[in-house]
Amino acid sequence: MNTDISRRTLLAGVATAAASSTASSAATAPGAKPQLCVFSKHFQWTNVPEMTSLVSEIGFEAVDLTVRDAGHVLPERVADDLPKAAETIRKAGLKLAMITSGIVDAHSPHAETVVKTASAVGLKYYRWGGFKYSQAKSIPAQLVEFRARSKDLAALNKSYGMCAMYHTHSGVGQVGASFWDLWEILKDLDNDAVSVNYDIGHATVEGGLGGWLHSARLLMPMIRGTAIKDFYWAKGTKGWTPEWCGLGQGMVNFAEYFRMLKKGGFAGPVQVHFEYPELGDAHTGKTKSTISRDKFVAIMKRDLKVYRAVAAETAFA
């Protein structure tokens, strides 16, 4: 661990540990509820004030704000622009539940400024990730390296009372796609400083029958946030590929997953993703929308209705 991070951790001392303990207890306290938010990636075609208007109209209660390259807040401008964005979101009656960052480890560009500023505006959670496997090294050797990098990031987070949530993706070369590897990396670290953002869509891609059930059970004590999306397998010219779709139109067993989260005492940010072409180019975070505002709102309201119906059925929220 480098000396700067060690010094920050030492100075944080008992106060930071107490704050972390309090936040952890609050997250699992009786009556605590998950925060339902929408990923601002899908609103990159508009600015923060217009986004807040749309989010309120659609019916979400909170925002997961992009603070990364090409995001609503650029990392190099985070100290100036994140407080302004937070104020705009909160003045609209919404909550800023978390941010999605471009942070891979403690040495990512602007990492400390992003974490420090997020803490200063009252945030606890941010999305982190992006470890990739190299074919040139053994997996066990790489896990040792990833654990060391995660430990350094945990020290940075603890000094500011923040929690990074590693986002799980599916696919070749993705650390966390197998889930056991992420458990191996994080098992001995403070999971109120470095934790998991469990994407149930990607988890079902990687383990559609029993695999996702086992990975969710394994990682449950580490899960501080979760991303919601749906998909089905489709055969095209390149073989079978996962096709993202509206909630309830695909293979994801949301009811069973919500029951597991509830049993596990989950009360973190729930991020609904809309990563399918029906949303126009907004599904990939493009800066121009190819569908009308009314259609955009209608699609999001439809998926939100499905989410709320399953959440009510399982008493998840």
Residues with Cβ within 8 Å of residue 265, at least 6 apart in sequence: 27, 28
3-class SS at 170? coil
Q: Region 181-189: what's the mean pLDDT?
A: 98
Q: Region 117-141: what's the mean pLDDT?
A: 98
> Does the pLDDT value for residue 312 go beyond 80?
yes
Helices vs. strands in the chain: H and E counts, helices first = 10, 10
The predicted pLDDT at position 317 comes to: 82
pLDDT digits (tens, 9 = 90+) for 13-53: 434 344 444 434 444 455 678 999 999 999 999 999 999 99
> Does the pLDDT value for residue 1 go beyond 80?
no
* DSSP category for residue 34: P
Euclidean distance between CA atoms 118 and 125, whole angstroms: 8
Euclidean distance between CA atoms 150 and 209, whole angstroms: 30
Question: Which residue in the block uniquely carries the two structure tokens 């403070």?
Answer: 190
The predicted pLDDT at position 31 comes to: 61
Cβ-based neighbour number of residue 149 at 10 Å: 16
What is the residue-wise DSSP string for 222-241? GEEEEEE-EEEEEEETTEEE
The predicted pLDDT at position 14 comes to: 36
**Average pLDDT of the chain?**
92
Where exactly are the structural domains of the chain? Answer: 33-313
pLDDT digits (tens, 9 = 90+) for 269-302: 999 999 999 999 999 999 889 999 999 999 999 9
pLDDT digits (tens, 9 = 90+) for 60-103: 999 999 999 999 999 999 999 999 999 999 999 999 999 999 99
The predicted pLDDT at position 60 comes to: 97
pLDDT digits (tens, 9 = 90+) for 187-245: 999 999 999 999 999 999 999 999 999 999 999 999 999 999 999 999 999 899 999 99
Q: Would you state the CATH architecture of domain 33-313?
A: Alpha-Beta Barrel (3.20)
Q: What is the pTM of this model?
A: 0.90
The predicted pLDDT at position 257 comes to: 98
pLDDT digits (tens, 9 = 90+) for 245-267: 999 999 999 999 999 999 999 99
Would residue 59 be called left, alpha or beta, if left means φ above 0 and alpha means ψ between -120 and 50 degrees?
A: left
> Which amino acid, residue 227?
A
